[in-house]
Chain A
Amino acid sequence: MSKPKRLHPIASVLSAGKGLKKLLFPLIALIISGGSEGKISLLITLAISLVAVIISLIIGVISWLRYTYRFEEDELRIEYGVFVRQKRYIPFERIQSINLTEGLLQQMFGLVKVQIETAGGGEEAEAVLSAVSKDDAKLIQQYVTVAKTGENHELKDEPEGQIVFSISVPELMILSLTSGGVGVVISAAIAFLSQLDDFIPYKKIFGDLEKWAVHNIIALAFLVFIGFFLAWVISLAVTMLKYANFNVIKTEKDLIISQGLLEKKQITIPLKRIQAIRISENIIRQMLGYATVSIVSAGGSTANEEESKVILLPIVRVKEIASLLKEPLPDYQLEPALSSAPKRARRRYILRIWYIVLPIVAAAIFFFQTWGFFSLIILVVGTWWAILKYNDAGWSLEQQQLCLRSRTINRTTVFMPRKRIQSLKLRESYFQQRQGLGTLEAFVKSGAGDSWIAVVDLERSDIQKVYQWYSRERQRELSS
């Protein structure tokens, strides 16, 4: 069908960049430690770093030279590898989804990164073409649709179909303001600083700081506040860039999600592969009446935690979810009438937290006396959390769908069609047994993690209802 082609030369820069990223910290460490020992050693370390950079550039170029792709006999055939030569042939009809990403570099040259995934989940996408022209990307998409449907129709520039969701500016603002990204930024900063642990004289800095802080508690509080505020602003910006232009389109057989400002992404999810729908609400969003809806999809790569969770509606009013998704996902009944856990379960929810918290509080009071009483705050918060957990636990059964809800930190509601549930488990501990309670667990398949939900302390007879609903033979027994 076609001659072997190379990626755009910019791919060599991309792959060199990937190599350099791994070298970044060791090199910085090397330069700092070398630099502190005099001019000559600084020169040597700089030379070593230079050599490392040059080598990774050369490897980048070679790997670009070695990487070819072609379309042949209804297969995408890739050959690559610097030290170990590899060939990978992927039949078009086996391709499950094609994801397109345009990073900054790709955008500058009008290119696109194509990630090709088959049904086998694995660490990474089955094939990654890191820089190809948009025309070639379209060609691949077209080959795949032809191979799958047997129809040959021109692909339009913009995917055709009905728009399911398109983020508005106020929604983007709410999304960014309520995202939990602050913690991520702070922990990233801490991780970064701890990498440089050996080179920055923290002891000295903090020693001085301590002396200073004792006299300037207010200034210190102010500094901490500024730090948090900065982290928050950064996370705000990151979220906005990531979810700007978020857009979901439903075509005949797929959902196509596009998003991003600096890095544009387009993900294709075959409707057939959707295993479950998950609605999650963090406390702030819950109070505002908003939620995030994501898809549990089979297959896909597990390498990137972020990418494995396919977010369908990043921010949406809880009330609107059902009407928004009614047409694209008619199999799901997203307005559940949840039954909750029985009253007597509440005590168990609270006790479960107290078992952990009470000893801590007791120890704190014992060791720190007056100051230890502050640990009572944990007790209050813990109890409040336990009551929230109890209130949120719930289940509902439709004809062909099980819905379970529980809370860890966020409140999570999972909708699972009966035919997508892989297995069902019920559990009764000794204490649960005595009170006629039990735990219900359901498993669905997913490309990566998150394929499981459990609801604790439901009424035993309720759990048995679900069990019977799921069991093919029990159902027959009932109906006969």
Chain B
Amino acid sequence: MKGAKPMISKPQKRISQKALTVWRISGVITSLIGWLITAAAVFLLHIFDLPGWISIILIVLAVIFPVLHIFLFPTLRWKSWRYEVREEEIELEEGIFVKTRTLVPMVRVQHVDTNQGPLLRKYKLASVVVHTAATAHTIPALEETEAEELRFFISKLARVAEEDV
């Protein structure tokens, strides 16, 4: 492995770059739904003659939200995502505003799933979900083949490492 380092080194691997596209598309979809709801709300506010500033706030939000969720957040999120699966442990790092680093020892892994929604499937991506007895950890948007390999790799190691309890 790597030589001894004084501080904790970051996990090395990144998730698939296609994740950006998927996240942007899902941002577009949520924005569309958001707009529909906003439109309905503004319409109702108008009918019931409620103060105009509420509508203005709603419309401003309806403009800001898509900008964040289609352009800004996917990029930041992708940049922040790192993971590493080694023989003895899995390490994840993520988070835009709050950076979270998670460590899961291989011996604690109970089972591994791969998930694939319609969007992920279209782009040949999949997420890997690692379950321990108490927690679940998701690595989103990996290349399909890589996800499969990872699942196989983890479940093999997890089986070897039965219980040292």
Contacts and interface: CB of A to CB of B under 8 A. Distances in A.
Interface of A: 272, 298, 419-430, 433, 443-446, 451-452, 464, 467-468, 470-474, 477-478, 480
Given A467-B103, A470-B105, 6 more contacts: A422-B132, A423-B108, A425-B100, A429-B98, A467-B8, A474-B8
B100 A477 contact: no
B134 A480 contact: no
A473 B8 contact: no
B102 A473 contact: no
Contacts of B104: 422-423
Given A423-B135, A423-B137, A433-B99, A471 B89 contact: yes
A478 B4 contact: yes
Instruction: In the A-B complex, list the 7 residue pairs whose CB atoms are closest, starting with the nearest.
Output: A445-B133, A422-B134, A422-B132, A445-B134, A472-B88, A429-B98, A423-B104
Contact of B165 (A419, A452, A468): A419
Contacts of B91: 471
A422 B4 contact: no
Contact of B97 (A420, A423, A429, A444): A429
B18 to A, nearest CB: 27
A427 B8 contact: no
B102 A424 contact: yes
Interface in B57-108: 86-89, 91, 95, 97-105, 108
Contacts of B132: 422-423, 443, 445
A424 B135 contact: no
Interface in B22-53: none
B1 interface: yes
Given A472-B89, A473-B89, A422 B98 contact: no
B160 interface: no
10 contacts: A419-B164, A419-B165, A422-B135, A426-B100, A464-B8, A467-B101, A467-B103, A472-B105, A473-B1, A477-B2
Contacts of B3: 477
Nearest to A479: B4
A388 to B, nearest CB: 24
Interface of B: 1-5, 7-8, 86-89, 91, 95, 97-105, 108, 132-135, 137, 164-165
Task: Identify whether the interface residues of B are mostly helix, strand, loop, or mixed.
Answer: loop
A269 to B, nearest CB: 16
Nearest to A465: B8
A141 B111 CA distance: 33
A477 B95 CA distance: 27
Nearest to B102: A425
A183 B89 CA distance: 45
Interface centre among A445, A446, A470 (most CB of B within 10 A): A445
Interface centre among B5, B103, B132 (most CB of A within 10 A): B103
A421 B108 CA distance: 8
Contacts of A425: 100-103
A440 B128 CA distance: 24
Interface centre among A272, A426, A443, A473 (most CB of B within 10 A): A473
Contacts of A428: 98-99
Given A419-B165, A424-B103, A429-B98, A477 B5 contact: yes
Contacts of A477: 1-5
Nearest to A423: B104
